[in-house]
């Protein structure tokens, strides 16, 4: 069995073994077409995209930006419609609230309440002789004159 041959660490100083190849292997024009050079095993073809990164930058990113723009505009249009609907609803609620305030004012008039009390509850206005007034102190007496009348038996 033959011993393996040692390879030189500095390949640039070693002459090529195969005839027809130049020292600048992998350099543009140095290697025959279709042979992998320093491109990492990738074959460069004329007229093809130079790299995937260029394709992504020139095609994919603008397409995604356009689709995102269309989506944002669609959402914005929907929100504008919703805002207009809510504005109409708010205006209707305000007018309805004003109408109800007027109705409350009409229904709470004292004359209307007295008329309903007489009609439905059979209540009547008190006469002046049924009313007693309180003194300035707020005691439960008619007046000084009324107190004297009570003492006299009147």
Evaluate if pTM is beyond 0.85. Answer: no
pLDDT tens-digit series, residues 30-67: 555 555 555 555 555 555 557 888 888 888 889 999 99
> Angle at the Cα of 84 (from 78 to 87), degrees rounded to 5?
140
CA dist 65 → 2, 57, 69, 71 (Å): 63, 11, 6, 10
Q: What is the reported pLDDT for 136?
A: 67
Q: What is the pLDDT of residue 130?
A: 74
Residues of the chain with pLDDT under 70: 1-4, 6-49, 135-154
What pLDDT sits at residue 143? 54
């Amino acid at each position: 069995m033959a011993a393996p041959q040692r390879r030189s660490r500095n390949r640039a100083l070693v002459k090529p073994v195969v005839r027809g190849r130049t020292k600048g292997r992998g350099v543009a024009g140095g290697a025959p077409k279709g042979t992998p050079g320093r491109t990492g095993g990738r074959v460069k073809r004329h007229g093809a995209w130079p790299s995937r990164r260029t394709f992504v930058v020139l095609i994919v990113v603008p397409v995604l930006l356009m689709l995102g723009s269309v989506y944002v505009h669609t959402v914005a249009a929907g929100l504008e419609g919703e805002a207009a609907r809510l504005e109409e609803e708010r205006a209707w609620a305000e007018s309805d609230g004003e109408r109800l305030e007027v109705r409350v004012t009409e229904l709470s008039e004292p004359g209307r309440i007295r008329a309903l009390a007489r009609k439905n509850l059979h209540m009547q206005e008190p006469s002046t002789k049924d009313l007693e007034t309180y003194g300035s102190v707020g005691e439960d007496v008619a007046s000084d004159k009324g107190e004297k009348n009570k003492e006299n038996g009147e």
